[in-house]
């Protein structure tokens, strides 16, 4: 899959028993072909923008 802003996706492989879903806040070419896109966000993009702008500690 090719990643664009507002894609909802899921890890295809994991080294641990971990399931993770995420929404992409930007294009990530290094993810292409490694993760599965299952949706696209059309409403609530302001929330995605706020999450991506939040400081990570």
In this structure, how many other beta carbons lie within 10 angstroms of the beta carbon of residue 34?
13
40 pLDDT band (50/70/90 cuts)?
A: confident
Instruction: Retrieve residue 16's tokens.
Output: 């641990």
Q: Taking all residues of the chain, what is their mean pLDDT, rounded to a whole number? A: 65
Mean pLDDT throughout 20-32?
57
With 70 as the cut, is the pLDDT of residue 12 above it? no
Residue pair 6/45 in contact (Cβ under 8 Å)? The answer is yes
Residue-level pLDDT at 11: 58
For the whole prediction, is pTM greater than 0.85? no
Collapse the DSSP code of 36 into the 3-class scheme (helix H, G, I; strand E, B; otherwise coil) and give the result: strand
> What value does the mean pLDDT take over residues 20-47?
65
- The enclosing H or E element of 10 equals strand 7-11
Nearest of 27, 22, 25 to residue 1 by alpha carbon: 27
pLDDT computed for residue 16 by the predictor: 60
């Amino acid at each position: 899959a090719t990643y664009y802003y507002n894609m909802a996706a899921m890890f295809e492989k994991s080294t641990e028993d971990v399931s993770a879903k995420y929404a992409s806040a930007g294009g990530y070419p290094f993810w292409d072909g490694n993760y599965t896109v299952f949706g696209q966000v059309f409403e609530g993009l302001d929330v995605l923008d706020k999450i991506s702008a939040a400081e990570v500690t």
